[in-house]
Structure 1
Amino acid sequence: MFKASVGESSNLDPREAVKETVGELRTQDNNVAGAKVLFAYASCAYDLPAMLDEFAQELPGVPVIGNTSFTGVITPAGFTGGDGFLGAMAFDDPAMTVGVAACPKTDASQDAVELGEKVARKAMEAADKDEAPLYYFMAASPAEEEYYVKGITHVIGRVPFFGGSAADNAITGDWKLYTSEGAFADGVAVAFFYGAPTMANVYTGAYHETEDVGIVTKTVGNRILAEIDGVPALEKYAAWRGMDVDGLRGGELLGKSVVSPLGVKDRLGDLVAIRHPMAGNNDGSISLGNKIAKNTAVIRMEASVDELVSSTGKTLGELRAEVADPAAYLLVHCGGRRAGIGDRIGEVAELLAKEADGVPFLTEFTFGEYGQVDDGANTCGGLMLSFTGFSK
């Protein structure tokens, strides 16, 4: 039978944090040393090689996968954050096989699609399998997530996935990804699941659509929105919100757009993937957190801070309805939303604990979230929630 255990620590020493966290895991599962995979989300201030080495000593042979999280994690014990924090969840199931693999991007010229293909093959090899998994987890650096997914799909087809992008505490590029093999800043890591329990994923921005809609008439590269309806994108966005364009330049746009980002609909209209405006550029363009395509529509979305808080409990409630006899929840919550929520993060922790109703859960805060809705394609977005549940 599938079983999950969860632990956390706020110890400033990564080795001590691992010892404390693993100690909590052992109190919930005597067989945690035989776990098939361990998810770990940690502070970017940690000495991550030391953390991984301690995991190897405490749980030899258990593959670790994870990334640094924005400011903290949430478990049933509440929000754990600060300069030092670690949250971990172990999955234990004799019938399950998990293939964990990573491909660091060591050169800017490396093709992300090819790295996605490579990491997929490595994960199958790690699981000693030659077929597609039931589903997979992915963590990546916040830059080329869509292309890693494309490469993985080339190898295994369209398989449901979930996960998020590594984050730091100040958007300064201090984020890291890691597996048991080591930590790295740029690239992709995956966990392929075989013989695993039923999984369900609820993927949403939980924003409301407004009547402000425009056509993307010019882009620069993959993630710069230059014009909407032939007008500089920043000017159009400022006009929609009745704001002074100069007050949205540079990093000012990042925080001010949390309650009113942009959205793009999937081909069926079932999902609005959020595109977080990251910076207002001097040429009137907007840098986004994910890919944008010319000749598609963008919608201005809205949500109050109250709604950002309450949406967490509502989304977990939706997930509960999708998972029969739940054994674990792995919750990916956008770091930008967490920043907008601010000191009210304790309310989020209370809502999640209430909705989890005793089921172990672990929440990380990311700079990109991954999931899908119904028969839509695997999608990457920002300012979103990707909540995943596993049955017993």
Structure 2
Amino acid sequence: MQIQTYSSDQRETSLAADEVTRSIRDDENASLLVAYTNAHHNPAVIAASLAETKVPFLIASSCLGSLICNDVHAKADAGLSVLSITDEDGAFGVGSADCSEVSAFDAGASALESALKNAGRPFESPSLIWCALPPGEEEDILNGFTSVVGEQVPIFGGSAADNTVEGNWFICTQQHSGANCVAVAVMYPSSPLGLSYSSGYKPTNTEFIATKANNRHILELNGTAASVAYNEATNGLIKNQLSGGQILGLTSTVPLGRPVQLENGALNYLLCHPDQVCEDGGLNVFSKVTEGEELVLMEGSIASLTARAERVINNAIMLLPDDREPAGVLLIYCAGCRLTVGDEIHPMLESLQKTFGHLPICGTYTFGEQGRFLDGTNRHGNLMISAVVFSKW
């Protein structure tokens, strides 16, 4: 297996697409293209250009650009970046569907069935499902995926993002395009993968029970209005928004976490990001919360968030068989974390280049992250980081 990365900082979409496509054409035997782009670009232009390569692709917008790192470049804000997989002994397929035409569950199932068919292996479980999802109903889409292949196949990827949280994100394949598009790539690589899904946050001693909750709305924590309970636990962090308002930026370093116990007894935490105080005193969040569920107040810092990317990549490399050498990385980094760390993202990329200079890395900043902990369950979370490491043989 071979991994190549390409990028362009051309502001005009046609120029960026042409620059990248010209480079990809030299990679004659490519099996799959995964592209991430700043939301100001025109997805139709990029799709038309990538279609000229005759290689299956998926495209998704990323907050403030995308991430590219190799021995030449270390860019945190690339306008367009593409990871190319070449694996003549493997099989790859892309499928898509539109959530505005069918339910999120049905869109997930339909997109995955198309991807399996396009890979030429409709009755064989893939090694990995890689997805780009519209924000809002990710859990239902994941359930659609598992209705087709069961619970055992790892599902990794992220929700499309824009630069201003105004719904200007997009996802695109050869069949579908738009803000409500579900895109999925199935991978049957000829060499092993290393997978890691994690966060850069630590649990505090503050624990809650979601005593009243409905989908992505938490009405009460420990029997108290959720916004009041959260505000008290965070020493008045959202005191000026208790009558209602946006709190997305304020809560990025103190999200809520769901404890997930692994077989070895260790705990991982799936994060849940509060983004709004509602008129009823509840909190809107970016992932589903079940009534009666235990939640823990988490804490993070710029230092922990910038250090986490390297750790997650290392964790994924360590999960490769002992004799396998990494060939490249697909990285998911939450847009909320990206906005929180600000300009410190640039030293983070420099550190990645110093540590993994030989390794092509392509990443995106997402409004939701999908992945699997070591307990074997696929989940949708917020403020998470994940890495898929491909091996050379």
Contact 2:21-2:49 within 8 A present in 1 as well: no
**1:127 maps onto 2:119 in alignment:** yes
What pairs with 1:20-169 in structure 2 (closer than 5 Å)?
Answer: 20-25=19-24, 30=26, 32-57=27-52, 59=53, 61-76=54-69, 77-81=73-77, 85-107=79-101, 110-129=102-121, 130-158=123-151, 159-169=153-163
What pairs with 1:280-299 in structure 2 (closer than 5 Å)?
Answer: 280-299=277-296
**1:211 maps onto 2:205 in alignment:** yes
Residue by residue over 1:286-316, the C-alpha shift from the partner in whole angstroms, topping out at 9 and shown as x without a partner, is 1101111111101000011121112222222
Partner of 2:231: 238
Partner of 2:304: 307
Residue by residue over 1:209-240, the C-alpha shift from the partner in whole angstroms, topping out at 9 and shown as x without a partner, is 001101111013x1011101110111011000
CA distance in 2, matches of 1:313, 1:132: 30
Partner of 2:13: 14
**1:325 maps onto 2:325 in alignment:** yes
Contact 1:329-1:389 within 8 A present in 2 as well: yes
Aligned partner letter, 1:7: Y
Shift of 1:354: 2.4
CA distance in 1, matches of 2:353, 2:245: 34
CA distance in 2, matches of 1:148, 1:373: 18
Residue in structure 2 matching 1:177, options 149, 155, 171: 171
Q: What is the number of equivalent residue pairs in this alignment?
A: 380
Partner of 2:269: 272
Contact 2:238-2:247 within 8 A present in 1 as well: no
Partner of 1:354: 354
Partner of 1:385: 385
Partner of 1:4: 3
Shift of 1:357: 3.3
Aligned partner letter, 2:157: G
Shift of 1:65: 0.7
The SS at the match of 2:258 is strand
The SS at the match of 1:264 is strand
Contact 1:105-1:187 within 8 A present in 2 as well: yes
**1:229 maps onto 2:226 in alignment:** no
Contact 2:159-2:366 within 8 A present in 1 as well: yes
Aligned partner letter, 2:204: T
CA distance in 2, matches of 1:359, 1:195: 18
Aligned partner letter, 2:145: I
CA distance in 2, matches of 1:248, 1:347: 33
Residue by residue over 1:247-305, the C-alpha shift from the partner in whole angstroms, topping out at 9 and shown as x without a partner, is 24555421111111000122546421000111111221111011111111010000111
The SS at the match of 1:119 is helix
Aligned partner letter, 1:103: A
Task: Work out the percentage of aligned pairs sharing the same amino acid.
Answer: 29
The SS at the match of 1:197 is coil
Contact 2:76-2:349 within 8 A present in 1 as well: no
Shift of 1:96: 1.2
CA distance in 2, matches of 1:282, 1:318: 42
CA distance in 2, matches of 1:290, 1:157: 22
Shift of 1:181: 2.4
Shift of 1:375: 2.8
After superposing the two structures, state which structure 1 stretch, 317-326 or 271-280, moved more. Answer: 317-326
Contact 1:133-1:192 within 8 A present in 2 as well: yes
RMSD, aligned α-carbons: 1.7
Unaligned runs of 5+ in 2: none
Aligned partner letter, 1:280: V
CA distance in 2, matches of 1:185, 1:43: 14
Mark the CA change 1:359 to 1:245 in structure 2 (over 3 Å): closer, same or farther. Answer: closer
CA distance in 2, matches of 1:17, 1:234: 44
Aligned partner letter, 1:138: C
Aligned partner letter, 1:127: A
Mark the CA change 1:353 to 1:251 in structure 2 (over 3 Å): closer, same or farther. Answer: farther
Mark the CA change 1:267 to 1:299 in structure 2 (over 3 Å): closer, same or farther. Answer: same
Unaligned runs of 5+ in 1: none
Contact 2:47-2:59 within 8 A present in 1 as well: no
CA distance in 2, matches of 1:244, 1:317: 34
Residue in structure 1 matching 2:248, options 248, 251, 254: 254
Mark the CA change 1:203 to 1:80 in structure 2 (over 3 Å): closer, same or farther. Answer: closer
Contact 1:14-1:50 within 8 A present in 2 as well: yes
The SS at the match of 1:317 is helix
The SS at the match of 1:170 is coil
